[in-house]
Amino acid sequence: MPKPTLITELNAALGPRYVLHRPEELMLYEYDGSALDQATPEVVVVPSSTAEVAAVARIAQAHGLPLVARGAGTGLAGGSIADRGGIVVSLARMDRILSINPQERTAVVQPGVVNVELSERAAPFGLHFAPDPSSQKSSTVGGNAAANAGGPHCLKYGVTTNHVLAATLVLSDGSVVQLGGSAPDAPGYDLLGAVVGSEGTLGIVTELTVRLTANPEDVRTFLAIYDTMDGASSSVAAIIAAGIIPAALEMLVGRGITAVEESVRAGYPAGAAAVLLIELDGLHEELQVQQEQVVALCREHGASEVRVAADPVQRAKLWAGRKGALAACARIAPHYHIQDGVVPRSKLIEVLRQTEEIAARYHLIVVNIFHAGDGNLHPLLLFDMREPGVRARAIAAGEELLRACVAAGGTISGEHGIGLEKRDYIGWMFNADDLSAFADLRAVFDGAGLMNPCKLVPSGSSCADIRMAKGAQRALAAGAWV
């Protein structure tokens, strides 16, 4: 179909202001938070309602064009990249919190609501939205649901799927369906569970009913400091084995600690081999006992010091360091390739050592900053894209890291999703019959195969060719970097 005809139809449905098609406009939608995989969409639309999303879907289906939903673009697996062209549906204008029900502890939101803003709006009722990815100041609730995002506090409270009760979904033919409901545990097949984490391959979510969580009576936050990585890793296993489930249990290793401290000034000990950021929450009396247990276990397993946040200001500084860690690593190198494989806690030390060996073999810097409590590793492979061949080395090293996770009894993703980045690795975990069942489920929702094609699961040889964005190619050729 000629592009002018497509633009004319979309202009009629949304208005020209919300149909983007100039090269300088499309460049902003060529990449996500990783910037390793890039591709240019044909058109970007910015609808404001379910009805407008449905109208775009009908236009796309009539002309056989792919539809790719996009939140804030903070994803790290290429899930919102239009690698087969088509229409990117930005949900940025659908950013309203429609209602908060403090009695039911629920909220109804549009997908473009920024994660942290939901908790801020719920705070006067003594509530918050528990999933808290490090990108929560910019990532959206819809994007969190698409990737089934986690975050530090999901160790105790569960990932996004545990907090989504209902969704409005636009299918590829423009029809609108309602999944789930305000009442939990509805009978029948869990279609809502299939949609959360489906990365936009089944439809476009335009409204969500989410569960809100009561704020705890008391919170205790610690920073345990170690001279060896092994001591920190063994402390993680010991705390969980003792029957204590912290609200969060995070680990930073080596150079990442120094980078965080230089960037954020959060009170992290530059030069330490490893630190654990531990948070307990609950009833005051219960936490006093748990605090003593955790401090004792950390010291028993080699902690040279355990610092306890004295007040909310110190607590906020410690968390600013953890959540600002990715950005802080730009002090080491300008580009990164981050993975999020998961391993059993008993395999942490073994796999952490493997990450360092793999990075060294590919001549890359690795910084390990991750959710230690649930074994969700986030090795950052750091490099400078201007170095010839380094992008290919980073991707190859990332693949090896994920193979190590699977060999240790783990998985290839804990919260970032599969997207383009790990699509061709999914066969390491599922056989041909499994993948066929996935394809059958996908076809029930999207028989035309237009919803975010070539993502999440392998779907044919035509999906193997990733087009480098033309705008990015020009910029790199001129000596810039993304």
Of 164, 179, 214, the residue at which a domain comes to its end is: 214
Q: What is the per-residue burial (b if ≥16 Cβ within 10 Å, else e) of 335-361?
A: bbbbbbbbbebebbbebbebbeebbee
Same domain, 177 and 206: yes
Query: 20-47, pLDDT tens digit by residue?
Result: 999 999 999 999 998 788 999 999 999 9
In a domain, 465, yes or no: no
- Residue 184: pLDDT band (50, 70, 90) is confident
E strand map for 377-418: 379-383
Same domain, 137 and 168: yes
User: Which of 66-70, 221-225, 306-310, 464-468 is the least confident region?
Assistant: 464-468
Q: What is the pLDDT of residue 460?
A: 59
Query: 214-224, pLDDT tens digit by residue?
Result: 999 999 999 99
Find the mean pLDDT for residues 197-211. Answer: 98
Same domain, 238 and 272: yes
pTM (2 d.p.): 0.93
Distance, CA of 202 to chain centre: 18
In a domain, 352, yes or no: no
Domain CATH for 188: 3.30.465.10
Of 312, 328, 344, the residue at which a domain comes to its end is: 328
Q: Are strands 87-90 and 43-45 parallel, antiparallel or unpaired?
A: parallel
- Residue 465: pLDDT band (50, 70, 90) is very low
Same domain, 244 and 294: yes
Name the residue with tokens 């900053």: 369
Same domain, 177 and 269: no
Query: 98-133, pLDDT tens digit by residue?
Result: 999 999 999 999 999 999 999 999 999 999 999 999
For residue 282, with 0-12 CB atoms within 10 Å meaning exposed, 13-18 middle and 19 or more buried, which class applies? middle
Same domain, 103 and 209: yes
Q: Is 180 helix (H, G, I), strand (E, B) or coil?
A: strand
In a domain, 232, yes or no: yes
Q: How many CB atoms lie within 10 A of CB 71?
A: 31
Same domain, 224 and 324: yes
Measured distance CA(97)–CA(411) in Å, rounded = 34
Find the mean pLDDT for residues 323-346. Answer: 94
Q: Report CA-CA distances (Å) from 388 to 96, 142, 360, 402, 476.
A: 45, 37, 17, 24, 11
- Residue 183: pLDDT band (50, 70, 90) is confident
Residue 433, C-beta contacts closer than 8 angstroms, at least 6 positions apart: none
Same domain, 293 and 228: yes
The answer to whether 395 and 337 have CB atoms below 8 angstroms apart is yes
Same domain, 316 and 208: no
Name the residue with tokens 């994803």: 75
Measured distance CA(183)–CA(176) in Å, rounded = 21
Q: What is the pLDDT of residue 470?
A: 47
Query: 341-362, pLDDT tens digit by residue?
Result: 999 999 999 999 999 999 999 9
Query: 445-457, pLDDT tens digit by residue?
Result: 999 999 999 999 8
Of 214, 230, 259, the residue at which a domain comes to its end is: 214
Express as a percent the part of the chain with pLDDT over 70: 94
Query: 385-420, pLDDT tens digit by residue?
Result: 999 999 999 999 999 999 999 999 999 999 999 999
DSSP label of 424: G
Find the mean pLDDT for residues 223-236. Answer: 96
Q: Are strands 274-282 and 218-226 parallel, antiparallel or unpaired?
A: antiparallel
Name the residue with tokens 């909310």: 312
What's the N-to-C CA distance of the chain in angstroms?
A: 32
Residue 113, C-beta contacts closer than 8 angstroms, at least 6 positions apart: 95, 96, 97, 140, 141, 142
Amino acid at 122: A
Same domain, 234 and 314: yes
Q: What is the pLDDT of residue 270?
A: 86
Same domain, 235 and 297: yes
Express as a percent the part of the chain with pLDDT over 90: 90
Report which secondary-structure segment, H or E, holds 263. helix 255-264
Q: What is the pLDDT of residue 188?
A: 87
Q: Is 210 helix (H, G, I), strand (E, B) or coil?
A: strand
What the block records as the tokens of 157 is: 């409270």
Amino acid at 415: E
In a domain, 13, yes or no: no
Instruction: Inform me whether the pLDDT recorded for 145 exceeds 70.
Output: yes
Measured distance CA(265)–CA(279) in Å, rounded = 19
Name the residue with tokens 């986690």: 150
Name the residue with tokens 């009539």: 62
Instruction: Inform me whether the pLDDT recorded for 482 exceeds 60.
Output: no
- Residue 469: pLDDT band (50, 70, 90) is very low
Domain span at residue 277 reads: 218-328
In a domain, 34, yes or no: no
Question: How many domains does the structure of the chain reveal?
Answer: 2
Instruction: Inform me whether the pLDDT recorded for 464 exceeds 80.
Output: no
Reference 363, options 344, 391, 325; nearest CA is 391
Q: What is the pLDDT of residue 292?
A: 96
E strand map for 341-388: 365-370, 379-383
Domain CATH for 269: 3.30.70.2190
Same domain, 286 and 308: yes
**Mean pLDDT over each residue of the chain, to the nearest integer:** 93
In a domain, 124, yes or no: yes
Find the mean pLDDT for residues 269-295. Answer: 95
